[in-house]
Amino acid sequence: MRHRPWVPWAFLAAPLLMYSVWVIYPTLSTFYLSFTDWDGFSDLKDANFIGFENYYELFVWDDTFRKAILNNLKWILVFITIPTSLGLALALALNQSIRFDRFLKVSYYLPMVLSFVVIGLIWSWIYHPAAGLINGTLESILTLLKAIGLPVNPESARSIGWLADEDLAIWAIIAAAGWRQVGYVMILYLAGLKTLDPQILDAAKVDGAESWSLFRSVIFPLLAPITTIVVVISIIDSLRSFDMVWVMTRGGPYHSSEVLANFMYLEAFNNYNMGYAAAIGVILFLISIFFIGIYIWRIVKEEEAQGA
């Protein structure tokens, strides 16, 4: 068959066109809009080009933006530590031959099939001050302690407003999101554990490696590629956190649970400040690209090392 160099491009034309229309063009448009004062309603050609004024206001004057950045950092730090550690621990436990292992795997992974909106609603009920599961459990514990003579007030448990307290709101949302993340991390590590060479593990055991030393010196280093994937995915999920914040608190109280994605939405569709929202979107995009770039760089380095 005669070689036709245009055939691959013919197959790629449709997806490239769609990708350009739905991804590349909106991305470039967002960069342009971030340098304007467009309100989202007037004709775009009437928008004033204001240079870096939006960025200057964000970084110098906007306290809400600083809160959103700090909350995203809190989200990242929690996601790359607690859900990652718990997911790895569950994967190690369920990788053994134990009873009901399939049932347990499905149970721990089940939250991942629920949308963030559904999880946000469920946890909003759990955090409810008067009828929520957490405060109800605390009240029961305090009632028991009072019954044995300790000076506690069970009714005080109902006064804890998990989503209404400026100091607690962001942590309560992160805890709910982390509950969902644990099952996903567990599945990734389980997949990684299944790829480990049993001969390497058996050799380490013959050399005297026990459970902790085997994990620290053999298993965890071999899981380094999976750990990299888990960390990058956790960071990206942290940066695009919007659904649960919007459902549970709308960024309140007083922007104490604000994150970049939610702040961008509020500026765009509540305050009709599209240019300002576009600047927030660009910053969020650049932060994400930074971490994705680190991941791609590491993958390329590993492939080059394997090829050498």
Q: Does some domain include residue 21?
A: no
Q: Does some domain include residue 114?
A: no
- Write down the pLDDT at residue 255: 92
pTM equals 0.89
CA distances to 224, 281, 290, 291 from 294, in Å: 15, 20, 6, 5
CA distances to 30, 149, 236 from 24, in Å: 10, 67, 19
Q: Does some domain include residue 307?
A: no
Q: What does the block give as tokens for 99? A: 């009873």
- Write down the pLDDT at residue 273: 93
* Residues of the chain with confidence (pLDDT) below 50: 1
Q: Does some domain include residue 283?
A: yes
Q: Does some domain include residue 159?
A: no
Host domain of residue 291: 47-89+189-301
- Write down the pLDDT at residue 1: 46
- Write down the pLDDT at residue 3: 65
Angstrom distance (rounded) from CA 39 to CA 222? 52
Whichever domain contains 59, its CATH number is 1.10.3720.10
Q: Does some domain include residue 140?
A: no
- Write down the pLDDT at residue 265: 95
Domain count, the chain: 1
Decide if 50 contacts 32 (C-beta within 8 A): no
